[in-house]
């Protein structure tokens, strides 16, 4: 396993990280809490040192379980969490989004609660969870500075979502030199990632990018095929059928990234992201130990060649020569699409 550093923070992360949204929740399939803890510890054994959770996952349960699982190796790992959703006063309704709360007093209290659940005195990376651009106020930025100065946190981040990403928010975080911006980014969903690469180059920012959903909800690792029936509670079911249908065609066009015995498609999908210098770590959604075995090894497979990277870029620019709607022609925007329009993307702002 190779390692990189988040921004200018000095915080080291493994190139493949563990997204602990699968711990303490059932959105990605049911598993016992003992199984979840065992998976986290197994990931450590496979060289993964970056673990990314959030206080809202399982209404704090993910943090509690992660704290238990990592108690014996705390000095060997990097822990990130997220705050900004007020689940304390609002019940969860299915997969619906809870009300956000980004006032500094609330955030400070939320951080203290997270530390208690994680059984930590400080957290390596604190991320604002889906904050809108007008919620990242000078007071919030001042709070993040104070938490760093106090030693409560070592690095700051912004986690974007829950759709593909919010351009205005990510641009602001990059311009403000946040240590990290987390986003949905993969070889089939390149627009937002490419935009932030341009923002980083334009501003000279040291901000690192943390891609999640590197396998595009199961297409690129072939865990979702034309024969797959997603369970009622499976979070991947939010994608329209057209997305998967076009995705399977695009997958076939990407087969050249596989190398028999050296690089699987699942590994190539992660290696493609790691080929971009601002990317610090990639956080796939591990569902089994077999996933961990395969994807943790992506840090050490043959890197993509310039020819392969160029070929991927050309396919994306031409939309893989598929001339029909994939059902996902929208990007989430908190500023009525002004960020999308100014970026020159031919997309509609999601309602």
pLDDT tens track for 52-78: 999 988 888 899 999 999 999 999 999
Task: Please count the CA atoms within 13 angstroms of the CA of 198 that sit on its side-chain side.
Answer: 9
**Is 70 exceeded by the pLDDT of residue 298?**
yes
| pLDDT confidence tier of residue 164, bands split at 50, 70 and 90 | low
Question: 57, 85, 106, 244: which is the annotated catalytic residue?
Answer: 57
- Work out the burial of residue 30: count CB atoms within 10 Å of its CB; fewer than 13 is exposed, 13-18 middle, 19 or more buried: exposed
Q: Which of 192, 172, 161 is nearest to 82 (CA)?
A: 161
pLDDT at residue number 351: 56
**Is 70 exceeded by the pLDDT of residue 93?**
no
**Is 80 exceeded by the pLDDT of residue 30?**
no
How do 50-52 and 348-349 pair as beta strands?
Answer: unpaired
Residue 57 annotated as catalytic: yes
Determine if the peptide bond prior to 195 is cis (ω within 30°). Answer: no
Domains and CATH numbers, the chain: 3-343 (3.20.20.100)
pLDDT at residue number 24: 62
pLDDT at residue number 235: 58
Q: Which of 124, 48, 121 is nearest to 82 (CA)?
A: 124
CB 311 within 8 A of CB 64: no
pLDDT at residue number 10: 96
Q: DSSP 3-state assignment of 142?
A: helix
**Is 80 exceeded by the pLDDT of residue 88?**
no
pLDDT at residue number 92: 62
pLDDT at residue number 282: 98
What are the tens digits of pLDDT across the range 223-278?
A: 877 766 766 655 566 677 788 888 899 999 999 999 988 999 999 999 999 999 99
Q: Which of 284, 238, 222 is nearest to 230 (CA)?
A: 238
pLDDT at residue number 33: 82
* CA distances (Å), origin 213, targets 10, 323, 350: 25, 24, 19
pLDDT at residue number 96: 63
* CA distances (Å), origin 163, targets 157, 166, 212, 238: 18, 8, 11, 10
CB 180 within 8 A of CB 283: no
Mean pLDDT lowest among 159-173, 188-202, 207-221: 159-173
Average pLDDT over residues 269-292: 96
**Is 70 exceeded by the pLDDT of residue 25?**
no
CB count, 10 Å around CB of 201? 11
pLDDT at residue number 236: 61
Non-local CB neighbours of 109 within 8 Å, separated by 6+ positions: none
Q: Which of 157, 207, 220, 212 is nearest to 184 (CA)?
A: 212
pLDDT at residue number 147: 98
CA separation for the pair 350, 167 (Å, rounded): 13
**Is 80 exceeded by the pLDDT of residue 327?**
no
Q: What percent of the chain has pLDDT over 90?
A: 69
CA separation for the pair 257, 222 (Å, rounded): 14
pLDDT at residue number 206: 98
Q: Which of 328, 51, 335, 336 is nearest to 163 (CA)?
A: 328
**Is 60 exceeded by the pLDDT of residue 28?**
no
Average pLDDT over residues 79-107: 83
């Amino acid at each position: 396993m190779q390692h990189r550093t988040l921004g200018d923070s000095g915080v080291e992360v493994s190139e493949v990280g563990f997204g602990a949204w699968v711990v303490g929740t059932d959105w990605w399939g049911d598993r016992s809490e003992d199984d979840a803890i065992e998976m986290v510890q197994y990931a450590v054994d496979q060289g993964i040192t970056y673990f990314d959770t959030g206080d809202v996952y399982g209404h704090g349960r993910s943090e509690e379980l992660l704290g238990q699982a990592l108690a014996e190796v705390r000095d060997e790992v990097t822990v990130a969490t997220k705050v900004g959703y007020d689940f304390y006063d609002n019940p969860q309704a299915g997969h619906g989004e809870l009300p956000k709360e980004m006032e500094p007093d609330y955030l400070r209290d939320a951080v203290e609660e997270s530390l208690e659940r994680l059984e930590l005195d400080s957290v390596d990376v604190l991320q604002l969870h889906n904050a809108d651009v007008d919620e990242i106020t000078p007071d919030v930025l001042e709070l993040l500075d104070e938490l760093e100065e106090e030693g409560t946190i070592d690095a700051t981040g912004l986690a974007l979502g829950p759709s593909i990403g919010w351009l205005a928010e990510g641009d602001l975080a990059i311009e403000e030199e946040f240590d990290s911006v987390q986003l949905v980014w993969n070889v089939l969903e390149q627009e937002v990632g490419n935009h932030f690469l341009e923002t980083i180059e334009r501003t000279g920012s040291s901000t690192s990018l943390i891609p999640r959903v590197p396998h595009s909800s199961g297409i690129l690792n072939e865990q979702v095929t034309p024969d797959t029936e997603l369970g009622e509670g499976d979070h991947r079911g939010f994608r329209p059928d057209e997305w998967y249908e076009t995705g399977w065609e695009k997958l076939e066009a990407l087969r050249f990234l596989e190398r028999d015995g050296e690089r699987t498609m699942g590994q190539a999908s992660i290696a493609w992201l790691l080929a971009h210098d601002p990317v610090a770590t990639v956080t796939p959604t591990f569902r089994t130990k077999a996933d961990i075995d395969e994807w943790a090894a992506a840090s050490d497979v043959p890197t993509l060649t310039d020819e392969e990277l160029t070929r991927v870029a050309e396919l994306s620019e031409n939309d893989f020569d598929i001339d029909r709607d994939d059902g996902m022609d929208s990007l989430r925007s908190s500023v009525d699409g002004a960020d999308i329009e100014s970026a020159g993307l031919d997309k509609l702002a999601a309602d």
